Structure 1
């Protein structure tokens, strides 16, 4: 027969164990689902999301999901991140769009030739803590939209075209980092940080 005191001590020890990147990403996805279902208001969602990325223990993460319907389900703890597969988005005389909820891979390549594209990360589910986006525009245009909490590093170049090199605002501690590389030739790669819109 198990000793309740030992069980309580083990639970307390587990609660204060260090959370991993995988744990933070899982909670971020759970919060996004709750916001999509209307169970969290936008301001509450963004506040919890920032806290989730900055959390260091399981106790901090568990507090963020305690009042949600799926709180009884304990996420798999620890382990390695399992990023979505690398993706290529092409706009050849046409266009591409990624908006709403979608799984962000750890490597994304976008190419616009006489076309245009949009990659909107504001409502997306990150599957790793670092994301590489290789963006190329040749006589085309594309826009990458970042949410407020995401960190960004940009190294791109425009030749007779534009490639945004700076983005207003700072990301949050512990949030994923998006590294944007590439070039434009007679085209444009726009990189913007935008707030989320309240769900209607």
Structure 2
């Protein structure tokens, strides 16, 4: 059931509104109310939505929509995140809040940043990735938009990433460098039956 009055249903939605509906859809998928294909279909539509009415249509059959009120404009980006792997490793997988800025650093170590099941809290995400004699991989869901500006010096920094992303979806900008190391950037589909990854 819609939380909107007829008067504001045609009001243009903001990025924060689209992000909140995306999180609500993720909640529904985590509880098994949406199969993976339906979840990804609605997610793409949520990011492309222009009005509150467009967003409400995507959630009107979900109990999660009536359990929470629309907090339009009230969402706050998660705090900046620093992930370090010095003679060690880091992993950020499953359901987590993606901040507007992430810095990753590997030195004789490795790391994985997986955004496929994560909740975006900002429409623009900057990842500053640095690898020195180490390696890291950044996994992206199919819908995000991507710009890669990183440089490899006697090492590798992936720029050849398939897929254009979905209009209106969050934009991820990856910059940084690798020295005798590597930064891998890959789009990877979510796995069917991966609802455990969506659980908080």
**TM-score, reference length from structure 2:** 0.92
What is the match of residue 75 of structure 1? 70
Flag structure 2 segments of 5+ consecutive residues without an equivalent: 195-200
Matched with 2:94 is 100
Q: Write the mapping of 1:26-37 to structure 2, written as runs, cut at 5 A.
A: 26-37=20-31
Return the offset for 1:70.
1.8
Q: Quick check: which has more Rg, 1 or 2?
A: 1
SS at match of 2:34: coil
User: Runs ≥4 in structure 1, deviation > 6 angstroms?
Assistant: none
Query: Distance in 2 between the 1:19 and 1:108 partners?
Result: 26
Q: Whole-Å Cα distance in 2 between the matches of residues 80 and 107 of structure 1?
A: 19
Report if the CA contact (8 A) 2:137-2:185 is conserved. Answer: yes
RMSD over equivalenced CA pairs, Å: 1.2
2:166: which partner in 1? 172
1:53: which partner in 2? Answer: 47
Partner of 2:132: 138
SS, match of residue 33 in structure 1: helix
DSSP 3-state at the match of 1:171: coil
Query: In structure 2, what is the equivalent of residue 163 of structure 1?
Result: 157
SS where residue 149 of structure 2 aligns?
strand
Structure 1 residue 81: Cα displacement: 4.7
Q: Does the Cα contact within 8 Å between 2:27 and 2:64 map onto a contact in 1? A: no
Aligned to 2:197: none
TM-score when normalising by structure 1: 0.92
**How much does 1:80 deviate?**
5.8
Instruction: Name the count of aligned residue pairs.
Output: 190
| TM-superposed deviation, 1:198 | 1.1
Q: Would you say the 8 A contact 2:20–2:75 is kept in 1? A: no
Gap regions ≥5 residues in structure 1: 1-9
Deviation at 1:36, TM superposition (A): 1.0
